[in-house]
Amino acid sequence: MSNSIPGTRASQSDLINIPRLISSFFTLKPDLSVPTQRISFGTSGHRGKALAKSFNEDHILAVTQAVCDYRKDAGITGPLFLAQDTHALSTPAHITALQILVANEVETLVADDSGYVTTPQVSFAILEYNKHNVAKADGIIITPSHNPPDDGGFKYNPVHGGPADETITKWIENRANEILANGLKGIRRVSHEETFDSSFVTMYDYATPYAKALTQIVDIELIEKSGIKIGVDPMGGASLALYEKIGELYDMNMEIVNPVIDPAFSFMTLDHDCKIRMDCSSPYAMASLVSLKDSYDIAFGNDADSDRHGIVTPTGGLMNPNHYLSVAIWYLFTHRPQWSKGLGIGKTLVSSAMIDRVAADLGIKVVEVPVGFKWFVHGLTEGTLGFGGEESAGASFLRFDGSVWSTDKDGIILNLLAAEMLARLGKDPSQLYAELEAKYGRSYYKRIDAAASAEQKAAIKSVNPEALALDTLVGEKVESILTHASGNGAAIGGLKVIAANGWFALRPSGTEDIYKIYAESFIGEEHLSQIIDEAKELVKGLLG
């Protein structure tokens, strides 16, 4: 039994057996009678484990063929940007996917150094290509994001550059499972040798165009002139090469503190549950960088595909993601003079109400949506949202001129924005958040997982707010009970209860016998605990 402790460096016993993992990817076959072994797209694509028969070669063969079939059905004829992160399963999945794409005669753009590519680079590349070409491009990112080293993941970003919506993912999911059920009939595949000799494969420089364009969204010159000392931890992820390129192009006082790629992620400190997890919003996973906070004026990290950000300051250590989102919104909407006055703020319904208080004071409309970055794609593309962000440390925003940058989460620009704030204002984001709290009140926020039966989960998902006898929340009048997001009317898949100084939201897990409680109080810790207790009692009462 492991004696591991959260926040301490992983020991040998915590590391995965990579040869066994890769072997399992190729040799184990899914049993489609087991729901968890089928292709299933969540908020960020299909994820699974080779040893659990939920992310194996058959899955990649089927889902990549399904993407090819979808492209044909949708009339997508431009190139496909194919990327992978540094997880051990990403490389074999990348090779397998490429064999299918070539066989289907899809022009595929892969990293010119056979290296790793971040999610925001793919979104950026799709949008840049589609600005100038009639035949539109799309992309696949092979990544399980921040999840443990034995996980695999597969994301599809269609021509708008962001996460595919449910209509598209359901089409691909159904087609992929049909292929699996038919014993992989309908798969078109070429050999490994044919793949890399194919005219359908083009080597592409993902890093340079993205890095050069950063001056259009972050004040790089200001950061250079300030001389502030910056520490960067790619956490063994795909952002390493990108930060190296940024270091080549710009004269920033920036140091990469952990320039290591290791698919076992042996350098990581253990997360709260003693698992290795590249979660840049976790103080346990980020313990190494936090320990260096006094060595830098600002420091930041990213997860394996860099769609998330983690900000570390000398004054506050690792920032709570909700705190940084609030500061970023306040800063952007007060320091982007070219932005249209009509721009809104996109937030997920479980993000902090501090955002609402900041927005109300600035006179800016908040568009509250269900969980999932896909809900911000249209607003960012059309230039109606200046910012879209999730409570899980993922966000993107517009360029200086108000045009779209990315339609997926971009942890790189959120990190560099923290440096811009410090360079301009002489205060780090933790200090700026303290000023927001002094003005708008202190937020107490928590998310917990609680056990739930299948019946309770179904009841949460289908609850009728009019049937609830819920007039008060910890003594305060309930202002609203939502089952659909106020910003776009989309179903929450649960409910949210709001009072003047607190709220909670309930969402059932799609894969586990749990439900998630998100809660926030602007009164205190005891009030927050009482909100959570009332949320739990509500769930108990849903079944009578």
Structural contact between residues 293 and 312, judged by C-beta atoms closer than 8 angstroms: yes
User: What is each CA distance from 299 to 288, 397, 418, in whole angstroms?
Assistant: 11, 20, 9
Residue 409's closest CA among 498, 306, 303? 306
Structural contact between residues 417 and 424, judged by C-beta atoms closer than 8 angstroms: no
pLDDT for position 539: 87
pLDDT for position 300: 98
pLDDT for position 541: 84
The span from the CA of 50 to the CA of 44, in Å, is: 18
Tokens coding 507? 């969402």
**CB under 8 Å, gap of 24 or more: what pairs does 73-79 form?**
73/171, 74/158, 76/136, 76/138, 76/158, 76/159, 77/135, 77/136, 78/107, 78/129, 78/130, 78/133, 78/135, 78/136, 78/137, 78/138, 78/159, 79/106, 79/107, 79/108, 79/109, 79/129, 79/137, 79/202
Cross-strand partners of 515: 450, 508
Structural contact between residues 460 and 544, judged by C-beta atoms closer than 8 angstroms: no
Of the chain, the end-to-end C-alpha distance in Å amounts to: 42
The span from the CA of 214 to the CA of 246, in Å, is: 9
User: What is each CA distance from 472 to 466, 500, 537, in whole angstroms?
Assistant: 14, 10, 13
Tokens coding 178? 């049909």
Can you list the domains of the chain with their CATH numbers? 12-205 (3.40.120.10), 209-440 (3.40.120.10), 444-541 (3.30.310.50)
Per-residue pLDDT of the chain in tens (544 residues, 90 and over written 9): 356 899 999 999 999 999 999 999 999 999 999 999 999 998 778 999 999 999 999 999 999 999 999 999 999 999 999 999 999 999 999 999 999 999 999 999 999 877 899 999 999 999 999 999 999 999 999 999 999 999 999 999 999 999 999 999 999 999 999 999 999 999 999 998 999 899 999 999 999 999 999 999 999 999 999 999 999 999 999 999 999 999 999 999 999 999 999 999 999 999 999 999 999 999 999 999 999 999 999 999 999 999 999 999 999 999 999 999 999 999 999 999 999 999 999 999 999 999 999 999 999 999 999 999 999 999 999 999 999 999 999 999 999 999 999 999 999 999 999 999 999 999 999 999 999 999 999 999 999 988 888 888 888 888 888 888 899 999 999 999 999 999 999 999 999 999 999 999 999 876 667 899 999 999 999 999 999 999 999 888 886 5
The span from the CA of 113 to the CA of 126, in Å, is: 19
The structure tokens 């933790």 sit at 430
Residue 350's closest CA among 465, 481, 507? 507
What are the backbone dihedrals phi and psi of residue 323, each rounded to the nearest 5 degrees, phi first?
-65, -45
Angle, CA 181 vertex, CA 179 and CA 184 arms, to 5°? 45
pLDDT for position 2: 53
Q: How many CB atoms lie within 10 A of CB 451?
A: 10
The model scores a pTM over 0.75: yes
pLDDT for position 1: 39
Tokens coding 483? 């089952």
pLDDT for position 511: 61
Q: In what order do the strands lie in the sheet with 385-390?
A: 366-369, 344-348, 385-390, 394-397
User: What is each CA distance from 251 to 206, 222, 242, 308, in whole angstroms?
Assistant: 21, 11, 15, 24
The span from the CA of 332 to the CA of 10, in Å, is: 38
The span from the CA of 73 to the CA of 382, in Å, is: 25
3-state secondary structure of 15: coil
Structural contact between residues 406 and 412, judged by C-beta atoms closer than 8 angstroms: no
Buried b (16+ CB within 10 A) or exposed e, 78-99: bbbbbbbbbbbbbbbbbbbbbb
Residues 24, 40, 145, 226: which is the catalytic one? 145
Angle, CA 238 vertex, CA 233 and CA 243 arms, to 5°? 55
Tokens coding 181? 């059920």
Residue 316's closest CA among 214, 148, 436? 436
pLDDT for position 544: 59
The structure tokens 């990403």 sit at 90
Q: Is 145 an annotated catalytic residue?
A: yes
